[in-house]
Each structure stands twice: as C-alpha cells, then as structure tokens.
Amino acid sequence: MKPYVYITRKLPDEVIKPLLQNFNVNMWDHDDVPVPRDILLSEAKKADALLTMLSDTIDEAILTAGKNLKVVANLAVGFDNIDVKAASREGIAVCNTPDVLTDTTADLTFGLLMATARRVVEAAEFVKEDKWKSWSPLLLAGHDIHHKTLGIVGMGKIGETVAKRATGFEMDILYHNRTRKPAAEQQLGAVYMSFEELVEKADYIVCLTPLTPETKNMFTREVFQKMKQSAIFINASRGPVVDEQALYEALVAGEIAGAGLDVFDKEPIDASHPLLKLSNVVALPHIGSASVETRTTMMGLCIDNIAAVLKGTEPKTLVNKDWMPLVRA
Ligand code: GLV
Ligand code: GLV
C-alpha cells in the first residue's frame, strides 16, 4: 500500500501532483478554515506524513497517536506550533521552510514599518472614505524612516535581510540576538546591543525573534515604557512574544507612537479587539511570507521534505537535528 500523506489545508492541485504518483494524499477541503482537532487526530493516526499549517497545534497527543507518522512538514519557518521534543522521541522528522521565505518576509516587514511610519493605511482609507477636502501641510503627516535608527530584535536571516533593506534608507542599525552576528556587523554596519539598550535607542523596534519559552512575553509594559515616545514597534514574528494588553496601554498612554503588527496573540484577532480601534496601529493578517511565488515554493519544499523522509533519506530542511527514524515493527 502507498504511504498516506494528510495535508491540513486545501492546496492547489498542481502543487500536490508530484506526490500522487507514490503516495495516497488527502487534504482538509477548506482553504480558509483550519482542520478541526478531532479530524486532525484521526488523520494523524493513519498518516505516514502530515503537511501542517502554523495554525495547527501538533502536540504530544497528535504525535503519539501517529503510530505510522514519520514526518511533519510545517508550511512556515516557525515551528512553535509543534512539540519538537516529543517528535524526536517518537522518531518523527519535523521540517520547516526556512531560507525560501527570507526576502519575501523581509519585504513585508519593511513595508509594514513604512506603512506604519507614514500612515499609509490610514491615508488610503481617508481618500476612499471621501474625507480629503484639501491638501494641507500637516495632513496625515507621519514620521521619517531614512536616517533614523532601526533596532532589530532577533537577528536571524530575516532580521539580516531587513537590515539590508534599511541600509538603502541610510538607517543606523542596532540589533539584539542570542549570538553575535559578525557578518552583519561587518557588511551592514549593524551594532550589537543588549535588549534594554536597544529598546531605549531605536526609533523603530522590529521584532523577528522566534517564539520560545525565553521570548514569550518579552515585550512588557516596562519595555514599552523604556522606548522613545516617538518609537514605532513592528512585530512580524509571533504574537505571544508581546504582552498585547501592555502594548495597547502603552499606545493609549502615548508611551510609544505606533505599532505595525502582522501577528497576534490569538489569530485571527477578534475584530472588536481594542488594539484595532487605534488609528496608529496597522494590523495585517499574518502575511509575512505571503507572495504567490514564495508560498508556492514553500509548498514545494514541504512536499520535497515529505518525499525524502518517506523514501528513507534526510529531508532538506530538518528542524530536529537529533531525529533518528524509529524502526517500526
Ligand atoms: C510565518 O510566520 C512563518 O513562520 O513562516
Ligand atoms: C508635494 O507634493 C510637494 O510638491 O511638496
């Protein structure tokens, strides 16, 4: 019997075609609603491979239920939705989609920074809502980007690529990361700093750190209070890195000037959420890597990874480097 691959969201037929020759493939039949937990669990029990979304919780219960499960390929660079430790213990490879989304995500992150600084969304709505009565000197005036100081928290590949974008705007670049990045320091002039110092000095604080127990709730009220009152906070990593209530209060109290958010604590964020009522908040529906080209490439990489593991070879982008396939009876 062919191995069974379950995909937790409807993907285009031409993307999954390469799998059909060697595998039985089934997909959750919706592209706008996540697969319900009970269906995910029953599919995991049967599957040799899962192709998952960042909105699926792949916890210990799912992984241990998957008696035949050999690989979970997540359509994202982040993998905080997966219990990687449990996967390693169960001999299941976990794969993500790094590298292929770096430029696209950096583009969106820088675009969100620009949109927030220059009030692009607010201004566009202003025109469409027929509020534009006259050109006027300070109408929808925002803040400059060029020659300002950018502070990147989480200097991975996406962080470095955002920094590269910023050099074109002649920005001063600060960064904070667990490890120093000598290449970024030399090539981009990025200056390493403690988190506390960075948030005090930067005009734009851009969060790109993965969500881990160490980074959860790292942006507290106290941190926002340390920022300049003119600072703009951008989050393109994961919502839970930020205490959202604290961010809201900091914005309302005028402790910072604005926020551009592509990610939220709970996704989708409720439309009645107080943050969305603020004119100085630009909110996007987690679209960092969402270009047609890049999402198609990401799907292809997930499929290559699944095919590699099911063939008994090493996948291209393995998360759990300690992965050892179990010999199953
Ligand atoms: C998106 O957030 C990703 O992790 O790829
Ligand atoms: C703006 O359009 C200007 O001419 O200053």
Q: How many domains does the chain have?
A: 2
List of the chain residues with pLDDT < 70 = 327-329
Residue 202's closest CA among 174, 222, 164? 174
Six-digit token string for 99: 């590298």
The whole-angstrom separation of Cα 272 and Cα 296 is 33
230 with 201: CB under 8 angstroms?
Answer: no
- Among this protein's residues, is 176 annotated catalytic? no
> Is 214 inside any structural domain?
yes
Check whether residue 136 and residue 264 sit in a common domain: yes
CB of 274 within 6 A of ligand 1: the answer is no
- Cβ-proximal residues to 198 (8 Å cutoff; 6+ apart), any chain: 151, 153, 174, 175, 176, 205
pLDDT at residue number 325: 86
- Cβ-proximal residues to 85 (8 Å cutoff; 6+ apart), any chain: none
pTM of the model: 0.96
pLDDT at residue number 31: 87
pLDDT at residue number 241: 98
What is the extent of the structural domain holding 39? 4-100+292-310
- Cβ-proximal residues to 6 (8 Å cutoff; 6+ apart), any chain: 25, 26, 27, 43, 44, 46, 47, 49, 50, 51
pLDDT at residue number 326: 79
Distance 115 CA to ligand 2 centre (A): 19
Number of Cβ within a 10 Å radius of residue 69: 26
> Is 329 inside any structural domain?
no
Closest ligand to 137 CA?
2
Nearest CA, atom 1, ligand 1 = 76
The whole-angstrom separation of Cα 263 and Cα 268 is 9
Check whether residue 137 and residue 262 sit in a common domain: yes
pLDDT at residue number 328: 57
If phi > 0 it is left, if psi is from -120 to 50 it is alpha, else beta; for residue 33 that is beta
Closest ligand to 141 CA?
2
61 with 19: CB under 8 angstroms?
Answer: no
Check whether residue 92 and residue 108 sit in a common domain: no
Question: Looking at ligand 1, which atom is closest to the CA of residue 298?
Answer: 5
Check whether residue 108 and residue 95 sit in a common domain: no
Does the interface ipTM go beyond 0.85? Answer: no
315 with 303: CB under 8 angstroms?
Answer: no
Check whether residue 231 and residue 300 sit in a common domain: no
pLDDT at residue number 87: 98
Look up the CATH number of the domain holding residue 24.
Answer: 3.40.50.720
> Is 220 inside any structural domain?
yes
The whole-angstrom separation of Cα 82 and Cα 100 is 20
Encode burial over 8-22: b for 16+ CB neighbours within 10 A, e otherwise: bbebeeebbeebeee
Check whether residue 151 and residue 272 sit in a common domain: yes
Question: Across the beta sheet with 204-207, what order do the strands follow?
Answer: 191-192, 172-176, 149-153, 204-207, 232-235, 258-261, 281-283
The catalytic position among 119, 165, 238, 295 is 238
In which residue are the tokens 């969201």 written?
9
